[in-house]
Amino acid sequence: MAVKAMGWAHSFPMSKGVRAGREWTRRRLESLAWAAAEPHTVDAIVLAVSELITNAHVHAHSDAHLVLTWDGDCLHVSVHDEDPTLPRQREAEPGEVSGRGVAIVRKLADEWGIRCQRQGKTVTACFRPTETDPDPDVDPDRRPE
């Protein structure tokens, strides 16, 4: 079985990474055929990137190394930082300006996970766009599942 994938990688320094990461991600997603028809998925991916880069900068005190990979099924967002401490979800108090990043990524992504490494960790989230171009000649009740 052959697997075709495309991807991009970029590092975002602590000094100016979050906004640059959002803009860079949105530009890369524009090249994917499904992105124009799924602005809500693109927005979810961009928000997750923003949260993950913020976590790398604020909590890990690290540059964020972002990799986006499209494998035909899932857009994988991976952010590596240099702190091996695992992120934890916590209940943010009303009015707090932080503490919701992990919960946001968990809610937006179809799947997510964390991999510890010798020098840091990588948080990965998977986003699956819905089918945007069904075959109009196929009866929806008879499509294979």
Q: Give the burial string for 89-117 (b: 16+ CB within 10 Å, else e).
A: eeeeeeeeeeeebbebbeebbeebeeeee
Distance separating alpha carbons of residues 90 and 99, to the nearest angstrom: 6
Whole-number pLDDT of residue 3: 61
Read off the DSSP letter of residue 6. Answer: E
Q: pLDDT by residue (tens digit) across 37-46?
A: 999 999 999 9
Report pTM.
0.83
Q: pLDDT by residue (tens digit) across 79-117?
A: 999 998 887 666 766 776 566 788 899 999 999 999 998
Question: Could you give the angle at the alpha carbon of 10 between the alpha carbons of 112 and 88, nearest 5°?
Answer: 30
Whole-number pLDDT of residue 120: 95
Q: 49 near 79, Cβ under 8 Å?
A: yes
Looking at the chain, how many residues does it have? 145
Q: 80 near 121, Cβ under 8 Å?
A: yes
Q: pLDDT by residue (tens digit) across 48-88?
A: 999 999 999 998 999 999 999 999 999 999 999 999 888 76
Whole-number pLDDT of residue 118: 85
Distance from first CA to last CA of the chain, Å, rounded?
20
